[in-house]
Structure 1
């Protein structure tokens, strides 16, 4: 079985603000709607987490 090495990165395709939720969704292979919903439902705590992720996650390589 071939293991794919994935890295958590901001999405360059699925982005509303900065691509954090889209990147998390791509990493886990789920819809970005659910990730955004989780961030909104638990807003006070997740706002700090989101700000940290925006500043620390690398951008995904741009494709043509």
Structure 2
């Protein structure tokens, strides 16, 4: 059985300045993270798009030490909360 070395887009700890988005993209694409940072800074200067792209990357890219992203964690928490019964006041009832 052969194993495939699959690249995964993740926020990295190595080279992290804020949340590791630029370093993760740089590592995935195979370029220097500073080039990604410069591109995001230029995009921020021309309409603020860089901040939005960085925020979306932070929310959707999982950390390298985790298998799920922040958004996936929030969705699973919400699904767990909605699966527990509530009374009419909206308070969660303990499971018997």
TM-score range, shorter chain: 0.7 to 0.9
Larger Rg: 2
Aligned counterparts, 1:1-64, within 5 A:
4-43=5-44, 44-61=48-65
Deviant stretches of 4+, over 4 Å: none
SS at match of 1:22: helix
Q: CA deviation at 1:61?
A: 2.7
Which string of whole-angstrom CA distances, capped at 9 and with x for unpartnered residues, describes residues 29-53 of structure 1? 1111100000001111121111111
Determine the C-alpha separation between the residues in 1 that align with 2:19 and 2:35: 16
Determine the C-alpha separation between the residues in 2 that align with 1:53 and 1:15: 14
TM-score, normalised to structure 2, is 0.58
Determine the C-alpha separation between the residues in 1 that align with 2:23 and 2:60: 15
- Between the two proteins, the alignment pairs up a number of residues equal to 61
RMSD: 1.8
Gaps of 5+ in 2: 67-96
